[in-house]
Chain A
């Protein structure tokens, strides 16, 4: 008999447990936006910041009970800005009492030394802070909150001084597309992790006007071939291997499989980027929605081989295709053109969707008309 804990590498062990959660149908990770209210007004934000009837403290605590019962382990608490809720620490304390691994996404503007100390005491696993630029003028122009970079950076110092793990999330858009190395250097100076995300998503109501903030393809090339950002460029940008049967029988991503998203109004979706309404925890228990929602079951039924265009694409096994973005483009089984762009700029190989679009648009006029007087 052995009582010792299984001791694999960190990533390997978490992957193993994620696979087990998938096999058992357990929502191992939940992203819970507790408010859409925010003290910043970021130009690329997909949310409506007015309060249309957020869940009360008691309602959120009941949902947290239900998530613990459902087996959720990783709980991402986000918004809006989480600290806009006066009961934030009460909810955090409650979540930690239920033994969730809590990750907080915040702009950190409202975090001072006392808040940082409290987060440490409550055993928060990670704090992710959005930083757009190392230059105050650029960052503050994106957040539309004067002084926000200074306050966010100050907060990061408070958090790290307490020993909390902090990650800077750097969303790239046209306004800050050349600032990633500056933000990366800032992260190094602060002693925190750095992640970069070039994804701009349509607004929750389907408005796509903010998509013009997406960085152009030529800039994506630069990002994907920058060893400081991706590590081994040759490996990262390698042509995709031919997809095998495992790939074709596989699931596109964890949304709806081991991951769920809950809005401040109690709406349940497969993921924060996948606005397919699947139930509401104000009317039903979370586990009933998770187990019986026809929408979630529909998402779960899709294998790579079922994807209308992507199943015939070279990139099908390696693409970051987001089914939520595909859904917002018209079909959860269809392509996500933003991810097609990423695959192309990463490898130089056009996606099946790009080739299809090129074929459907004639390259020149079909009829040439010679002017009479020529």
Chain B
């Protein structure tokens, strides 16, 4: 079921990624841009399955696993998602990616 106003995030298929010492390395297959994510951002990345809304990811993973002010965590998470999506690394949709007609490729 789609949550009203929710945003769903999914990893692009056009990337390479690997966890190294608790931080995620990501490389875009589109332009070879190389990124690393800090441990908090890595948690969001790992939970970006296209089904769980971003707000829920922050509540369930970030706020539960790190000592952080929830309001700041949500705001930083939004900013982080914007930045990665601007590079095509992360895909954002108002509907879960598992719904018919929404696929990571199409959403890109």
Please report A residues at the B interface, Cβ cutoff 8 Å: 1-7, 10, 13-14, 16-17, 20-21, 23-24, 26, 28, 68, 71-73, 96, 99-102, 123-126, 165
Contact = CB atoms under 8 A, between A and B. Distances in A.
A26 B22 CA distance: 13
Given A1-B72, A3-B44, 16 more contacts: A1-B66, A3-B40, A3-B76, A4-B41, A4-B79, A5-B37, A6-B38, A20-B20, A24-B20, A71-B20, A72-B18, A99-B16, A99-B17, A101-B27, A102-B16, A125-B29
A67 to B, nearest CB: 10
A21 B20 CA distance: 7
A14 B18 CA distance: 13
Most buried by A among B29, B73, B77: B29
A68 B29 CA distance: 18
B83 interface: yes
Interface in B1-21: 13-21
Across chains A and B, which 6 residue pairs bring their CB atoms closest together, nearest first?
A: A101-B16, A123-B29, A3-B80, A73-B18, A3-B76, A3-B41
Contacts of A21: 20
Contacts of A28: 20
8 contacts: A2-B38, A2-B40, A4-B41, A13-B35, A24-B21, A99-B15, A99-B16, A101-B16
Contacts of A3: 38, 40-41, 44, 76-77, 79-80
B36 A17 contact: yes
B81 to A, nearest CB: 9
Nearest to B12: A123
Contacts of B83: 4-5
Nearest to A165: B32
B16 A73 contact: yes
Interface residues of B, number: 34
Given A99-B18, A100-B16, A123-B16, A4 B80 contact: yes
B38 A125 contact: no
Contact of B13 (A2, A10, A123): A123
Contacts of B35: 5-7, 13
Contacts of B27: 73, 101, 125
B82 to A, nearest CB: 10
B84 interface: yes
Contacts of A124: 29
Contacts of A1: 40, 66, 68-69, 72-73, 76
- Which of A1, A13, A14 is the most central at the interface, judged by chain B CB atoms within 10 Å of its CB? A1
Nearest to B81: A3
A3 B63 CA distance: 13
Given A4-B41, A4-B80, A5-B83, A14 B17 contact: no
A71 B16 contact: no
Contacts of A73: 16, 18, 20, 25, 27
A34 B93 CA distance: 39
A71 B19 contact: yes
A65 B35 CA distance: 23
B66 A5 contact: no
Interface string B22-65: 00011101001111111011001000000000000000000000
Contact of B15 (A5, A13, A26, A123): A123
Nearest to A21: B20
Contacts of B13: 96, 123
Contacts of B76: 1-4
Interface in B69-108: 69, 72-73, 76-77, 79-80, 83-84
A2 B69 CA distance: 12
A71 B18 contact: yes
Given A1-B68, A3-B38, A4-B83, A125 B32 contact: yes
Contact of B21 (A13, A20, A125): A20
Nearest to B17: A99
